[in-house]
A = this chain, B = another copy of it.
């Protein structure tokens, strides 16, 4: 067997005409000698329309019933695409999540794939069929239909590829992964090859092409993931295990997170109990903290700063009001007029001076940053929103992204 998994998102299957176009693409791949598994999402805006109906039915609809409802979207796609493939002389079969043996666990609407009984798919592949699997869904141990949450169809595709030990090809509206978002930097270059570590870092730091969870699965099972255009026959970006040749480039990508709030708490008592209390309160309010930075003041207090999504501003302010009541001398400031600029590259691990080049670049060009955090292969800065374009152009041109 020579399997490959091809995944197409909602905009690629939004009507019969578009499905006919991707059918031709699938048939060409089949003619190249592949045993093909196709994973599809729901047509266009179907999932949102179904969720609208759910909101009409109930103020707070049961998540189990939401899964039962929205999973119909992919079922419609797989049956129609299979019909189109059959109409074109192929032998194709549509399989829902449970028919494809996808077993999940966890909370409804946010399930994880636990395992795949891949024998069900392999049987059809051995019979020469194109197997069209509903993305985003599975069946849990109780026999309930479940969905996988954001990026769920990518996860289905990569998990199937992991079980078949083959490549997952994710077809999207973009031509691949770019070092910088082309909307921010029109001269941005598509990346031909990127390591899982870098891709995960970029995904976590705000690049929206793929969700970190499917990259994580690909990485764990050491398969390759191709991200390519659904509309054109261009090369795309191959995500794979790092090899020495890939590490010559010091910086692979740059990503920007907007809608960020920066909170600084000045003059907090220095015992770790105090900052712990703050973060526990934030967590209880389901506020996700992104960057955290703390420094000591000369008089034995600390200045503590963190960033979060500006969507949580209201909740954050409530927590901050409690803090100010509790500590007389504390001063709290917030700033939503900022963005986070993150620079990612495996090169940072081995090449010295990458960080130094960045600091020098910022200094020479008068870009002040408020908070810095680093990981093994990335550095993130928060800067004033007004400086976003300037920073993006400087970094992208300096590192040839």
Contact = CB atoms under 8 A, between A and B. Distances in A.
Given A16-B56, A53-B16, A57-B19, A75 B69 contact: yes
Given A68-B96, A94-B65, A57 B80 contact: yes
A77 B96 CA distance: 18
Interface string A117-153: 0001000000000000000000000011100000000
Nearest to A134: B68
A141 to B, nearest CB: 13
14 contacts: A16-B57, A53-B76, A53-B80, A54-B83, A57-B84, A58-B87, A60-B87, A61-B86, A61-B87, A65-B79, A65-B82, A68-B75, A72-B72, A96-B145
Given A57-B84, A60-B87, A99-B145, 11 more contacts: A58-B83, A59-B87, A65-B83, A65-B86, A68-B79, A68-B94, A68-B96, A69-B80, A69-B83, A75-B75, A99-B143
Interface of A: 16, 19, 50, 53-54, 56-62, 64-66, 68-69, 71-72, 75-76, 78-84, 86-87, 93-94, 96, 98-99, 120, 143-145
Q: This chain: how many copies in the complex?
A: 2
Contacts of A120: 143
- Closest A-B pairs by Cβ, 10 of them: A69-B79, A72-B72, A58-B87, A57-B83, A68-B79, A58-B83, A61-B83, A65-B79, A16-B56, A57-B80
Given A16-B57, A84-B57, A79 B66 contact: yes
Contacts of A58: 83-84, 86-87
A93 B80 contact: no
A120 B142 CA distance: 11
Contacts of A144: 99
Nearest to A53: B80
Contact of A87 (B57, B69, B94): B57
B62 A83 contact: yes
A254 B96 CA distance: 47
A68 B78 contact: yes
Nearest to A70: B79
Contacts of A50: 76
A217 B141 CA distance: 33
Nearest to A143: B99
Contacts of A66: 79, 83
A25 to B, nearest CB: 16
Contacts of A93: 64
A149 B295 CA distance: 72
Contacts of A16: 53, 56-57
Nearest to A17: B56
A16 B57 CA distance: 6
Contacts of A59: 87
A66, A69, A87: residue with the most chain B Cβ atoms closer than 10 Å: A69
